[in-house]
Amino acid sequence: MQLSMSRPSMPYDNALAESFFATLKLELTDDRPFANRNTARIAVFEYVELIYNRVRMHSALRYRSPMQAEREYQSVRSVS
């Protein structure tokens, strides 16, 4: 089992994953446990696919959703 992808003296390798999981816990769980594993899987899938990737603004994308950033990228790419 490998606990971390980070190498010695490189503490930022997991920063994106840590940020995502912190956001997931904050916005999804509401400090209540899920009834079972399947309920948790469905909730996480819906959060990622319907909110995190489509609606939620990301500071790394200049406060746009990933779908907005992708559409803009594709429109610029197709014009060139």
Cβ neighbours, 10 Å, residue 52? 19
Instruction: Assess whether pLDDT exceeds 80 at residue 14.
Output: no
Confirm whether pTM is higher than 0.75: no
pLDDT bucket at 77, cuts 50 / 70 / 90: confident
Can you give the residue ranges of every domain in the chain?
A: 15-79
Q: Which of 22, 15, 28 lies closest to 60 in space, CA to CA?
A: 15
What does the pLDDT read at residue 43?
93
What percentage of the chain has pLDDT greater than the value 70?
Answer: 81
Measured between alpha carbons, how far is 1 from 30 in angstroms, rounded to an integer? 30
First vs last Cα of the chain: how many Å apart? 46
Question: What's the CA gap between 76 and 73, in Å, rounded?
Answer: 5
Give the model confidence (pLDDT) of 30-65 as tens digits: 778 899 999 999 999 999 998 888 888 888 889 998
Question: What does the DSSP assignment read for 47-67?
Answer: IIIIIITTT--BGGGTSB-HH
